Amino acid sequence: MTAIATEPLLEGRSVTKRFGGLIAVNDVDFVVYPREIVGLIGPNGSGKTTLFDCLSRVQPIDGGRVFFKGVEITRLKPHRVAHLGMARTFQVIRVYRKLTVLENLLVSRQWRGESLWNQLRPSHPDTEGQARRLIEFLTLEHLTDSPAGTLSGGQRRLLELGMALMPDPDLILLDEAASGVNPTLVETIKDRIRALNTEQGKAFLVVEHDMRFIADMCSRVYVLNYGEKLAEGTPQEVMANEAVIEAYFGA
């Protein structure tokens, strides 16, 4: 919608990913413009997480090309993509269980290829201040020094969101970041995402099964089904789409 005449932040051209005979992502084109919140929905197993894995480069891309900020990232290493300013959360939670909540955040800060020598000291006070503000926002203050392995599932989701925000990325991929989080906090998270979007111009690509979340947050939505792009448009358009309804609720 507001994406006129700007360079795309993220662009995928005919992205394809196979697992043996299974085509998990099939020839999908997509684009995310700066300052956009875009949804990615589809039934279970439709390839959303796999597409994220391809973007963050832990899965090799079998076909097509991906550009982020005009740089081709199709074959880049995962940490390089992160340095370019893309961060993500994970459907299957990945926190560092033996590090404390604070340490988890500190170690997720913006690295951007700085020398190892500079890393041979404790984190900078500014970094720590930023981490503590995130902890406060995520309402995890009482757990600041607890090992992440002792957190509940929902608390770990929150921590993960913090870890994705920590490097101050330009694009954040959220893979069901709100599932298992209590409803009031989900509202807070939505507000925070909106604030990050409007105040700091951060873009989001959001996978979520909760349609209200998608409808509230996203200006555009892509729908995947069996790895193929089934539809795209505003949340209203997509939810009125016959094919989408059929894919979700069966014939």
Partner 1 sequence: MTVLADVAARPRGSTGRKIGLGLLLVFLVVLPLGTNIEGQTWVTNARLFQFTQMFMLITLASNWNLTGGFTGYVDFGHAVFFGLGAYGTGILMTQQHGIQWPFWAAVLGGAVVAAIFAVLVGFPTLRLKGPYFSIAMLGTFVAMREIIRVTKPVTGGGVGLTLPPYLNRALFYYLTFGLAVLVVSVMWWIRRSEFGSSLIAIREDEVGAEMRGIDTTLHKITAFAIAGFLSGIVGGMWAYQNTFIDPDVVFIESRTVELVMMTMLGGLGTVAGPVVGAATIYWLRDVVWAAFFDWHLIVEGALLIGIVLFVPTGIVGMLGDRSGTSLQRLWGRWLGSRDRPGAGPDPPRAAPPQPQGPQGDAGDEP
Residues forming the site for partner 1 (CB under 8 A): 53, 56-59, 77-79, 81-83, 87-88, 90, 92, 94-99, 103, 106-108, 110-113, 116, 119-123, 145, 147, 149-152, 163, 167
**Beta-bridge partners for 172:** 87, 204
Among 35, 48, 88, 157, binds ligand ATP (CB under 6 A): 48
Query: Does 50 engage in binding with Mg ion (CB under 5 A)?
Result: no
Query: Does 24 engage in binding with ligand ATP (CB under 6 A)?
Result: yes
* Residue 206 CB, nearest approach to partner 1 (Å): 18
Query: Token pair for residue 75?
Result: 């074959």
Query: Does 115 engage in binding with ligand ATP (CB under 6 A)?
Result: no
Cβ atoms of 58 and 75 closer than 8 Å: no
In the complex with ligand ATP, the residue whose CB is nearer, 42 or 169, is: 42
Q: How many CB atoms lie under 10 A from the CB of residue 76?
A: 16
Helix (H) or strand (E) holding 18: strand 10-19
Q: Which of 198, 204, 150, 137 is nearest to 177 (CA)?
A: 204
Binding partner of 234, given Mg ion, ligand ATP, partner 1, none, CB within 5-8 angstroms per partner class: none
Counting every residue written for the chain, the total comes to 251
CA 121 to centroid of chain Cα atoms: 30
* Residue 206 CB, nearest approach to ligand ATP (Å): 13
In the complex with ligand ATP, the residue whose CB is nearer, 135 or 230, is: 230
Nearby residues of 31 by Cβ (< 8 Å), 6 or more positions away: 3, 8, 10, 11, 12
DSSP designation for 60: -
Among 39, 42, 169, 235, binds ligand ATP (CB under 6 A): 42
Q: Which stretch binds ligand ATP (CB under 6 A): 47-55, 82-90, 138-146, 161-169?
A: 47-55
DSSP string, 62-85: -EEEEEETTEE-TT--HHHHHHHT
In the complex with Mg ion, the residue whose CB is nearer, 48 or 88, is: 48
Binding string, 71-100, against ligand ATP, x = CB under 6 A? --------------------x---------
